Amino acid sequence: MVLKLKLRKIGNSLGVVIPKEALHKMDSKQGDTLILSETPDGGFRVTPDKESFAEQMAVAEDIANRYRNTLNELAK
């Protein structure tokens, strides 16, 4: 599913309206928190704030920090 979202002025900020089909697919509703994370290609990904996702990201960040030098060498 690919959706184009238009930026809209909301008060003094800008925001997007997420269509109900996308919210249903993410199992999200009004009041839920969404996470905007940067992707390696410079884009962004929106995911629901589920506890398991936060735990996975914490583990990934811990591994990246502990093995920073090894990962840098492997990236060469």
Establish if 45 belongs to a structural domain.
yes
pTM, two decimal places? 0.56
Establish if 68 belongs to a structural domain.
yes
Establish if 29 belongs to a structural domain.
yes
Residue 50's domain comprises 8-75
Establish if 1 belongs to a structural domain.
no
pLDDT at residue 14 in the model: 96
Establish if 52 belongs to a structural domain.
yes
Number of domains in the chain: 1
Side-chain-facing half-sphere of 22: CA atoms under 13 Å: 14
pLDDT at residue 23 in the model: 92
Q: Which stretches in the chain have pLDDT values below 50?
A: none
Establish if 42 belongs to a structural domain.
yes
pLDDT at residue 76 in the model: 85
Establish if 3 belongs to a structural domain.
no
pLDDT at residue 19 in the model: 92
Query: Are 7 and 14 within 8 A, CB to CB?
Result: yes
pLDDT at residue 20 in the model: 92
